[in-house]
A and B are shown apart, each in its own frame.
Chain A
Amino acid sequence: GAVVSQHPSRVICKSGTSVKIECRSLDFQATTMFWYRQFPKKSLMLMATSNEGSKATYEQGVEKDKFLINHASLTLSTLTVTSAHPEDSSFYICSARTGGYSNQPQHFGDGTRLSIL
């Protein structure tokens, strides 16, 4: 149980393109989803917390107009990287959690490798 599906797994696109990444909880309802960015051999950096039906909460230094997050249902959150540039190339990972309490584990998708040429 607690499967999170992330799509696509890999994207290669030209500079200036907008890219949408989907994160779905397949067998549970996720009131909260998280979006992370990970650089090679580095830890996960939290970008934003996505709450169903409300605006996402962005971490300091993360541009909300650059990284648009929508959590329209209890099973789907999307991250759109707008007008992507080479410096946006990274590994993006989403996670989902049932309930709003921190004493529950997060369930992760398999990540999206984004490469901007």
Chain B
Amino acid sequence: SQQGEEDPQALSIQEGENATMNCSYKTSINNLQWYRQNSGRGLVHLILIRSNEREKHSGRLRVTLDTSKKSSSLLITASRAADTASYFCATATAYNQGGKLIFGQGTELSVKP
């Protein structure tokens, strides 16, 4: 079963606006990662946040993690048309052999110019 549930499933905004995507999970985790996928392509790693971290920044990206609520959010500020893609959260569980990731269902972001 999927570990991560993301909402919204789809998000459409205007260029310059901020985009927020949420991810919830069910079991204890070692870390949570966010990836981006352009249509028909592979995934690109965006940011990794460890279970003992609460917030992390990378350029226009801000990720928060609340382990008590088992949830994370990805904020993209000042969005651009080039940010149009699907965004996935993925969790690595503490007791998972081989460190495999379990992916959420993804949020499809559309940024209109």
Q: Which of B41-49, B64-72, B73-81 contacts A (4 or more CB under 8 A)?
A: B41-49
Asked if A51 is at the interface of the complex by the 8 Å CB criterion, the answer is yes
Enumerate chain B residues within 8 angstroms of A113, measured Cβ to Cβ: 40
CB-defined contacts of A108 to chain B, threshold 8 Å: 35, 42-45
8 Å CB contact of A43 from B48, B88, B96, B99: B88
Closest B residue by C-beta to A44: B103
- Can you name 30 A-B residue pairings with CB atoms under 8 Å? A4-B42, A6-B42, A32-B98, A32-B99, A41-B108, A43-B2, A43-B103, A43-B104, A44-B43, A44-B88, A46-B100, A46-B102, A57-B97, A91-B40, A93-B42, A93-B43, A95-B43, A102-B30, A102-B92, A102-B99, A103-B31, A103-B92, A103-B99, A105-B45, A106-B43, A106-B45, A106-B101, A108-B45, A110-B42, A111-B41
Which residues of B line the A interface, CB within 8 A? 2, 30-31, 33, 35, 40-45, 48, 50, 88, 92-93, 96-106, 108
Query: A residues engaging B (CB < 8 A)?
Result: 4, 6, 32, 34, 41-44, 46, 49, 51, 57, 91, 93, 95, 97, 100-111, 113
Q: Which residue of B lies closest to A48 (CB)?
A: B100
Main secondary structure of the interface of B (DSSP, over half): strand
